Chains A and B, each alone.
Chain A
């Protein structure tokens, strides 16, 4: 073999290894979810879909799924408008301290989940004492925490979509007599749409799969799906859990494919 060929093989081989490491665990989970025997072993004794029924019958997973879905949806509905408004202000107004504000809004991404989670837990306990109402292990408490996750993603993605846009289109509309609200509704908003759609996708998924920030904020009877899966996995991995994980994988895949029809994901990330 010529040296150039060897190099090409090495390059392509290393790329294949990299993608194998990234994809192997995801594929593995989907494969064992249809194994017939309860104790995972290879080769499988046969294939079945009964673990999906079994998983749904387990309260912790069914309710965990419902809670995670609810929290992710509410956090996205609250966080994306807030983040979009902030991105608009950062990109289109002349306020001072833009860099500092930007850092503040991206802060939730920079502080480690476990650290922010413990801080929030302490804060909730203190606040519960003041207002004499439960916050930890309530839907409101979880949604508030997860809104925190959605803001940096939204600010980042919507800012990026605004930064690439020419202000002159908005100025032209205003010069032609459009009122500010009309300019926003007919010009600015359509231009921001890809950023907002991508932000909603990322916000929902980030919230749905979050573990670290959530760990201390759940309680008996109100657990999110990732936390329920973590406590189950500390004992074993079996097809029931793999079935739950596969449902999550498919949900993410569907969301990504649907979003990709509206916005080319390869352009926004």
Chain B
């Protein structure tokens, strides 16, 4: 099967407008007869379900949480980019497009990224109209901040809770459609399979997580808005329930998986404290705007950081990358921290951490404040107290969170940080219309692979989720549904539905009847360790081959020795988790195979064999300028398809931050 990305003809900045001008429409009377299933209610899912409901489609929305408002988009901290140029600092749609393609290390599809940059401005308008309380200046206009190494201020934010406020906006729009009867909401439901009839997605099998009963739901089209799969690493900044199951079921039913190995490992997270750890917590990237990152110059230095004098500290980012210093992109900062810790310079009890120090920033701000107050001879203590207040205003909630988790006061003692899995750029392969390789099956937001290439820039995930849901799918879905107006609702007693439901129940029974000795959690932890060690921040041919063997072994062990208590027809969180971990194990194998295939370093994917003499990532455009789209061919068997990437506008060059 040849991949057709369906990129419209014409100049880059006219493609989307031309597409919208010629796309097929569905008339209002027909919309009322068409049913759409939306799985997941984060930014992409809630915005899509609400918008489609407003347009007149009959929508069914599903989430596994107890309310659509809990989806993990809620945890995003920093902000959302938009090319508004409100700061008059030279921003434009073109610059946002350019920065995103370059930031993605030239592995994203230009046409999709350009559209994303175009609709970014409408997102801010829409959210403000919904009552999203973005930060404002004293004049009453919206405030912006800089983010992730770009040269303009284009990030809109609501303190450190931007994701929460955007999600609550989309959630309120969704609940309004529920009240109007246009959307039917199924909370505490998990999608366990796609139903295909005559090669088109026609519905899903879902399981009511309270009663444990499976249900059959018909839809003329199915939208997967189910987020990323960072939890394949066990420890990540994702929510505990975040999983790959919906995307994986789609993959097994014919949807190709794009660039599965592209994982974002975020440099500033609170480090692991012990074996008990269940998840990791992100400290916003904005902290690198003011904080300085260092380790002791002496290996295994156990002194209190306050007792280590200036000349015995190694500010390694400033040393290695004088031009960008502490503000290098996420992938570069993460690898540099790993390098120092691997060499034995790490700090803290586990020695797998580096310091993020605010002392200089506090003193710097303190001196400015002292100057403002005319305190020319202020002592250090006064300056520190004044500076602390400024830092508190800017980053107070983050410092508080750090103190709660670690029990340490970050104003006095430098924070300990270490990289952690945060986001997956890979996902279901989609064309320009966000349709997967299965007709009628779409993927939106983090669940698709499309816009971030091999590395995502800060404040772009929220932008993409809402772009897909509010402004892309309402047009592109119509192009498909216009040809479906003659399709009557298909009875869920159709053999395809019954067969799919039977398979789902068989699998649940199979899992429950293994009756082994090891818990689901223990398997998940072991998978995570393999993935982190061999398919994490640095990957090598030998390591990946070992990982593939180990994962295949783990899979056998799982299916013969997992222990799941309880029954099927009841609220059984262990059974829910077992299904998800089983899918993660299969995904882990594919990720390693994808990483093995891509013998180049790009963005977050660092192959040890492909680096410069100074140890920097080396891309190989001649051989790897493509999207790897994997087709499932049965047990542990995949076929690679390639979508060649052509760069008409942004010419690839080696990224340098020195």
Q: Are A and B co-members of a single complex? A: no
